[in-house]
Structure 1
Amino acid sequence: MIKLVSFVFELLRLCILLILTLLILGGLEREIYRLIFGNPIYLWSMTLGNMILFLVVYRNYFQFKGWYKSENNKKLKKSSTISLITFSMVLLLIPIWIN
């Protein structure tokens, strides 16, 4: 029962962190692109890139600081981390190539 409650709290924490991350990064990117190009740009690719960045940060850092403890919690491999971050950066830079 305690594992279930801690899992539910961790799931709620994950959702709140995801929403905050998307709002903060999305607003920051929108302002940066507005300053560079004169109009705010925000595409679906940027949201997907931010979600991938959140996945990397969560798997490598936040999952170890939460309420739900498991022996299955492991960091991403270094090659996976680098690949995901590179792919995320490409998705974040797509609006520059489109404009």
Structure 2
Amino acid sequence: MGFLLEILRIGLLMMIIGGAMSAVLKQVYLLLGFTGVNGYLIGIAIFLWLFVMYRNKWQFTGWYKGKGREKLPRQISLALLVFSLVLVILAPFLDAFS
């Protein structure tokens, strides 16, 4: 039962926080003058950020108490977050070339 509740929790976190982050980024891009932004790159960037947050923080506060619950190594976390930031920065520029 704890596993199913945790899957539901992950889905809700992804939808609510991911949707909010997407809306905020869209407004930031509009304020900066970018009308069309590559949504796929933004989605990947948000997913990477949420994945790092889940693996390093949120998995320890949920209902699932099984094996394999450990933080990502610091280098992996940093690499994923930097790649996510690069995607967010490059998304409007890559969309302009297509």
**Structure 2: runs of 5 or more not aligned:** none
8 Å CA contact 1:63, 1:73 repeated in 2: yes
TM-score between both structures, scaled by the size of structure 2: 0.89
8 Å CA contact 2:48, 2:81 repeated in 1: yes
Question: Once the 2 structures are TM-superposed, how far is the Cα of residue 21 of structure 1 from its aligned partner?
Answer: 1.7
Tell me the matched-pair count: 95
TM-score between both structures, scaled by the size of structure 1: 0.88
Moved over 4 A (4+): none
Among all aligned residue pairs of Structure 1 and Structure 2, give the percentage whose two residues are the same amino acid.
25
- Cα offsets for 1:66-86 (capped at 9, x unmatched): 001124200000000000001
1:90 aligns with 2:86: yes
**Structure 1: runs of 5 or more not aligned:** none
RMSD (Å), alpha carbons: 1.4
Q: Which has the higher contact order (CA 8 A, sep 6+)?
A: 2
